[in-house]
């Protein structure tokens, strides 16, 4: 007679409670309990966007627990308090079989708090901060050294794309500790997509044969939204009947407003600050990604599911999502005129756009949410069984 297997306790830690990181953490938290896991989400008491907060409020319905800890985005002396609070929170939960930190701050605190609190520690960077182009060479070296040092206290580093895997290797993280588990999303049926496309186009006020180019993302320096606006300006000159849609809000909003004010561009761009990308992306034909760095952008995954062509800078995940000259282009230079010219290749050809739709929809199934969760469940169980 075999005994019942005890529930495995998973603690998910994130400071960046919003955007792609917040979405990923809650996607995982909501789907682990049916697999027999007991789950606690620990997030920052200072940063949570409305969508994250709304989903978090439904935690009891999904069967997971929630706790808040006092840690902030920037490194500082208060991180000592954050580590102590995290340790206390994990102990009150009964300890962690897996303490899984997400993004730079969540990952750092999880690893610093692990001793006598967690059997195993996982870390998902969601784009290594050492990639940030705003960093000086000295700062980039510092964060690289910090990642190598913290990897000593890490049992598994989960890269979300092949590019992030390559960077982890370049930072000196041991190969045996790295695994790729791509982000995942819910994939629509073809029937649902047709319905959602018609609904999105109705909201946007766009006819069935008109062209739409969209930028989606938090308006933060990492996403380079001003580059997107400058690219829109070039598209307007070359394709004046194309509809231009900007979805997102954030600290770069004033800079975006100023860029839109030039040459009267604001009247040609539909700016939807609070839009839900999943609802409106089916109305787009081409999605523009201008980010400086990414782990694996959820915007690109949603674009695949929506059947859009993707024109992107060479960020993490681009090679996983884009079939060159098939469903989009990876543009090596972030110059607006170069990006606009790449977008134009799909705006000019109905046949190429139809082919892109087919390829994107085929690629989307590789990133099914169920696949991501199944792979994480396997890694969690394997880590615990290996330690038993």
Domain with 44 in it: what CATH number? 3.40.50.2000
Query: Within this chain, do residues 144 and 271 fall inside the same structural domain, yes or no?
Result: no
Query: Within this chain, do residues 301 and 339 fall inside the same structural domain, yes or no?
Result: yes
DSSP state of 2: P
Query: Within this chain, do residues 332 and 381 fall inside the same structural domain, yes or no?
Result: no
Query: Within this chain, do residues 35 and 175 fall inside the same structural domain, yes or no?
Result: yes
Instruction: Please give the full DSSP string across 127-142, using - where no structure is assigned.
Output: S-GGG-TTS-HHHHHH
Query: Within this chain, do residues 220 and 340 fall inside the same structural domain, yes or no?
Result: yes
How much is the pLDDT for 82?
Answer: 85
Query: Within this chain, do residues 325 and 240 fall inside the same structural domain, yes or no?
Result: yes
Query: Within this chain, do residues 321 and 273 fall inside the same structural domain, yes or no?
Result: yes
Asked whether residue 3 is assigned to any structural domain, the reply reads no
SS3 (DSSP) at 380: helix
Asked whether residue 353 is assigned to any structural domain, the reply reads yes
Asked whether residue 1 is assigned to any structural domain, the reply reads no
Query: Within this chain, do residues 243 and 382 fall inside the same structural domain, yes or no?
Result: no
Beta strands of the chain (E only): which ranges?
8-14, 37-44, 65-69, 96-102, 118-124, 156-159, 178-180, 212-216, 243-247, 269-272, 286-289, 309-312, 328-330
Asked whether residue 98 is assigned to any structural domain, the reply reads yes
Which pTM does this prediction carry?
0.90
How much is the pLDDT for 269?
Answer: 96
Asked whether residue 104 is assigned to any structural domain, the reply reads yes
Asked whether residue 153 is assigned to any structural domain, the reply reads yes
φ, ψ for residue 102, nearest 5 deg: -120, 135
| Residues 27, 22: Cα–Cα separation, whole Å | 8
Asked whether residue 224 is assigned to any structural domain, the reply reads yes
Q: What angle do CA 20, 306, 357 make, to 5 degrees?
A: 130
Q: Over the stretch 106-158, which tens digit does the pLDDT of each residue have? A: 999 999 999 989 999 999 999 887 777 777 888 788 888 888 888 999 999 99
Query: Within this chain, do residues 127 and 274 fall inside the same structural domain, yes or no?
Result: no
Query: Within this chain, do residues 220 and 103 fall inside the same structural domain, yes or no?
Result: no
Structure tokens at 374: 């199944």
Q: 109 near 101, Cβ under 8 Å?
A: yes
How much is the pLDDT for 129?
Answer: 79
Which residues, given as ranges, of the chain have pLDDT below 70? Answer: 1-5, 73-77, 387-388
Asked whether residue 2 is assigned to any structural domain, the reply reads no
Query: Within this chain, do residues 171 and 238 fall inside the same structural domain, yes or no?
Result: no
Query: Within this chain, do residues 164 and 26 fall inside the same structural domain, yes or no?
Result: yes
Q: Over the stretch 49-102, which tens digit does the pLDDT of each residue have? A: 788 889 999 999 999 999 998 877 666 667 788 899 999 999 999 999 999 999
In the chain, the number of structural domains is: 2
Q: Which domain, by its residues, includes 334?
A: 190-366
């Amino acid at each position: 007679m075999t005994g019942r297997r005890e529930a495995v306790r998973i603690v998910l830690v994130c400071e960046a409670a919003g955007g792609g990181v917040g979405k990923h953490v809650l996607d995982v938290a909501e789907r682990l309990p049916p697999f027999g896991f007991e789950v606690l989400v620990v997030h920052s008491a200072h940063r949570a966007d409305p969508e994250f907060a709304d989903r978090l409020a439904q935690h009891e319905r999904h069967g997971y627990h929630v706790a808040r800890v006092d840690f902030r985005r920037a490194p500082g002396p208060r991180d000592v308090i954050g580590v102590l609070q995290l340790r206390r929170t994990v102990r009150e939960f009964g300890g962690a079989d897996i303490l899984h930190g997400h993004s730079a701050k969540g990952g750092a605190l999880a690893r610093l708090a692990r001793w006598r609190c967690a059997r195993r520690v996982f870390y998902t960077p969601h784009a290594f901060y050492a990639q940030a182009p705003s960093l000086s060479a000295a700062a980039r070296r510092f964060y690289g050294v910090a990642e190598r040092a913290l990897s000593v206290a890490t049992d598994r580093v989960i890269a979300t794309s092949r590019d992030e895997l390559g960077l982890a290797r370049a930072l000196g993280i041991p190969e045996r500790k790295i695994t790729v588990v791509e982000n995942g999303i819910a994939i629509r049926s073809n029937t649902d997509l047709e319905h959602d496309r018609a609904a999105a186009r109705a909201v946007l006020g766009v006819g069935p044969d008109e062209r739409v180019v969209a930028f989606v993302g938090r308006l933060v320096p990492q996403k380079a939204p001003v580059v997107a606006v400058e690219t829109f300006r070039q598209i307007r000159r070359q394709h004046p009947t194309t509809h231009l849609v900007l979805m997102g809000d954030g600290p770069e909003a004033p800079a975006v407003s100023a860029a839109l004010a030039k040459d009267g561009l604001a009247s040609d761009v539909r700016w939807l600050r609070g839009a839900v990308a999943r609802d409106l992306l089916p109305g787009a034909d081409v999605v523009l990604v201008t980010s400086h760095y990414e782990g694996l952008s959820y915007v690109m995954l949603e674009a695949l599911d929506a059947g859009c062509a993707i024109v992107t800078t060479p960020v993490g995940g681009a090679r996983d999502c884009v079939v060159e000259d098939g469903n989009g282009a990876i543009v090596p230079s972030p110059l607006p005129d170069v990006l606009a010219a790449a977008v134009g290749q799909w705006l000019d050809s109905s046949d190429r756009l139809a082919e892109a739709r087919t390829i994107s929809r085929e690629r989307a199934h590789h990133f099914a949410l169920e696949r991501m969760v199944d792979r994480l469940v396997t890694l969690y169980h394997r880590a615990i069984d290996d330690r038993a």
